[in-house]
Amino acid sequence: MKKRLPPLNWLRSFEASARHLNFTQAANELNLTQAAISQQVKSLESQLGTTLFKRLPRGLALTDAGLAYMPAIHDSIVRLAAVTDELFGQGRSRQVTIRVTLVFFTTWLAPKLPLFYEQYPDIQIRFTSNIWKEEKEKDTDLDIRYGRGIWSDVKAERLTWDELFPVCSPDLVKDHALPLEKDLLSEHRLLHVLGYEEGWGYWLNQTSTDFHDKGQGIQFDTLISALEMAKLGLGFALGRTSLVSSMLEEGSLIAPFEDKLETSEAFFLTHPVQQYLHPNAEIFKQWILTNLQDQPA
């Protein structure tokens, strides 16, 4: 049977007395009487069944048991104080770290952030880029991932519901009437993006498009790069509604084909299941889900 842990106030009295090697100074630090400190240390020694201090004429000295016990107790109290302050004290204002893919941040999240800061001007946020990496960062509070939302290690909240369709610069097809015939794709480069299951092969297959690959395609590791190249007239990229809506509205890209597919992949706001979510991170999570999920992308 496991031994019962001593009360926290006994441990605090021991730790303070061990640092000062003086009951009176420990009492002053903890706002207790010297008699109370002495009694709590005696009670701790009684429960542990060993002496922790040598009582000397001019102070205290730790016994071998006290010397062995002190580092663990000191470290535990320091850590407990730190996490208490972080979650419930001044630490509530600490920076929240959100990891997010560059294309999602640039096209979807960034335009909406002024609304968040209007409501929560005192919450500090640090955004880090996540370019299709599965590596986990210990200092990340929230992670915006792309996929099907099936991850055993995190709780995932879906942020986007998209359609998948080719996009290009209007200059690329200015000599053709819209909507285009799909066989026109074979005359141009396809701009591929790594990390998406639903890429060009998926779209071509699902739309029964007869595509003749001439080996001119270009691969990118982030969709924002492919979309920028599409704007410059280098070829066709696959757009997702939530990411290209503003580009379609401003006219830098067009969707020249009629075929659009609903995606099963999406962007999800995630955080580890077993990790306590900091109050400021919880505020951001609830804000983005409550105020943005149902708005047009």
Q: Could you tell me the CATH number of the domain that includes residue 52? A: 1.10.10.10
Same domain, 258 and 213: yes
Same domain, 41 and 82: yes
Indicate the pairing of strand 190-193 with strand 236-240. Answer: parallel
User: Tokens for 24?
Assistant: 């009176």
Number of folded domains in the chain?
Answer: 3
- The reply to whether 2 falls in a domain is no
Of 58, 88, 118, which residue is a domain's last?
88
Same domain, 75 and 126: no
User: What distance in Å separates the CA atoms of residue 144 and residue 151, rounded to the nearest whole number?
Assistant: 13
Per residue in 131-183, pLDDT (tens digit) is: 545 445 557 899 999 999 989 889 999 999 999 999 999 999 999 999 999 98
Same domain, 63 and 189: no
Same domain, 142 and 80: no
CA distances from 109 to 119, 160, 243, 256, 288 (A): 16, 11, 10, 26, 9
User: Tokens for 207?
Assistant: 């739309």
User: What distance in Å separates the CA atoms of residue 11 and residue 7, rounded to the nearest whole number?
Assistant: 7
pLDDT for position 266: 93
User: What distance in Å separates the CA atoms of residue 9 and residue 41, rounded to the nearest whole number?
Assistant: 9
Same domain, 255 and 172: yes
Domain that holds residue 106: 95-157+269-291
Same domain, 273 and 146: yes
Same domain, 285 and 142: yes
- The reply to whether 3 falls in a domain is no
- The reply to whether 297 falls in a domain is no
pLDDT for position 132: 44
pLDDT for position 135: 45
Residue 263, SS3 per DSSP: coil
- The reply to whether 296 falls in a domain is no
Provide the CATH number for the domain around residue 169. 3.40.190.10
* pLDDT digits (tens), the chain, 297 positions: 456 889 999 999 999 999 999 999 999 999 999 999 999 999 999 999 999 999 998 889 999 999 999 999 999 998 888 777 766 765 556 788 999 999 999 999 999 999 999 999 989 899 988 654 544 555 789 999 999 998 988 999 999 999 999 999 999 999 999 999 998 999 999 999 988 889 999 999 999 998 888 888 999 988 999 999 999 999 999 999 999 999 999 999 999 999 999 999 999 999 988 777 888 899 999 999 987 644 544
- How large is the angle between the packed helices 34-48 and 8-20, nearest 10 degrees? 110
Same domain, 287 and 140: yes
